[in-house]
């Protein structure tokens, strides 16, 4: 489980979870990194809301563009329903198709060393039986560098996902702080009005007494 999701889930911070999943399909449009976390959060009381009609869904993929995507994200902040989120997963597969292709390619490349490690002893054994010397291949070196590069990109992707969660948490705290400040200012104004009314009343009483 991603650390940001775990923190919000354990503290019961539903709004924080919503912030994370509103942006998760921009971070990882394959939804691979978030799926298990989302399935877990669906069982948290209050996480999912009953579907409300806001921007009408369109199922014509020709209209699945960034403008439509932004409307869906905005609506998700207002009504975090599973129906809307599942539709967004489908739309993300179109609007972020290039990123999905790149991520899948990098993940497949990063998993290649495990396959090579399993097959390598058999290759060495066969060549020893044939009394042949396994040559040092420049192609093998190139493949290894490609694998290392893919692993590096995946690590960066993981860091980006965590940073995105941290940024979402920061925005949430700032929004809460702004609301608190507005409430405090309103309270000060109310106190000022009460004080002014009280002062006016005292002055009126004093005038009446003098008269």
Does residue 133 form part of some domain?
yes
Distance between CA atoms of residues 181 and 201, nearest Å: 30
- Determine the average pLDDT of the residues in 105-119: 70
Residues 6+ apart with CB under 8 A from 31: 24, 25, 38, 89, 92
Q: Is residue 55 part of a domain?
A: no
Has residue 80 been placed in a domain? no
> pLDDT tens across 144-153, in order?
666 666 666 6
Residue 106 within any structural domain of the chain: yes
The pLDDT, as a whole number, for residue 206 is 47
Whether 19 is covered by a domain: the verdict is yes
- Assign 110 a pLDDT band (cuts: 50, 70, 90): confident
- pLDDT of 130 > 60? The answer is no
When the pLDDT of each residue in the chain is averaged and rounded to a whole number, the result is 78
Give tens-digit pLDDT for 33-59: 999 999 999 999 999 999 999 999 999
User: What is the domain extent for residue 123?
Assistant: 3-47+96-210
Q: What is the pLDDT of residues 172-205, one digit of tens each?
A: 667 666 666 666 566 566 566 555 655 555 555 4
pLDDT in the model for residue 205: 41
187 belongs to a structural domain: yes
State the total domains in the chain: 1
Q: What is the pLDDT of residue 207?
A: 45
DSSP string, 83-100: HHHHHHHHHHHHHTHHHH
Distances (CA, A) of 45 to 7, 42, 49, 84, 168: 16, 8, 10, 18, 21
Residues 137, 54: Cα–Cα separation, whole Å: 59
What pLDDT was estimated at residue 203? 56
Q: pTM for the whole thing?
A: 0.58
Kindly state the average pLDDT of the residues 117-131. 51
- Whether the CA torsion 32, 66, 59, 106 is positive or negative: it is negative
Alpha carbons 139 and 145: distance in angstroms, whole number: 10
Q: Does any domain span residue 151?
A: yes
The end-to-end CA distance of the chain, in Å, is 78
Q: What is the DSSP letter of 44?
A: S
Let me know if residue 87 belongs to a domain: no
């Amino acid at each position: 489980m991603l650390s940001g999701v775990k923190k919000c889930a354990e503290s019961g911070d539903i709004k924080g979870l919503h912030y994370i999943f509103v942006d998760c399909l921009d971070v990882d449009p394959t939804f691979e990194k978030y799926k298990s976390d989302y399935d877990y959060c669906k069982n948290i009381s209050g996480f999912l809301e009953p579907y409300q009609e806001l921007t009408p869904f369109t199922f014509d993929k020709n209209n699945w563009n960034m403008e439509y995507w932004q409307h869906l994200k905005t609506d998700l902040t207002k009504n975090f329903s599973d129906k809307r989120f599942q539709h967004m997963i489908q739309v993300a597969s179109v609007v972020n198709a290039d990123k999905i292709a790149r991520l899948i390619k990098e993940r497949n490349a990063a998993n290649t060393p495990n396959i090579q490690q399993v097959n390598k002893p058999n290759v060495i054994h066969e060549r020893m039986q044939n009394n042949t010397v396994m040559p040092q291949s420049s192609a093998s070196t190139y493949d290894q560098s490609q694998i290392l590069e893919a692993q590096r990109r995946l690590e960066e992707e993981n860091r980006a996902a965590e940073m995105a969660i941290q940024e979402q948490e920061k925005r949430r705290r700032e929004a809460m702080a702004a609301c608190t400040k507005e409430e405090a200012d309103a309270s000060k104004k109310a106190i000022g009005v009460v004080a002014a009314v009280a002062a006016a009343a005292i002055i009126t009483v004093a005038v009446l007494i003098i008269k």
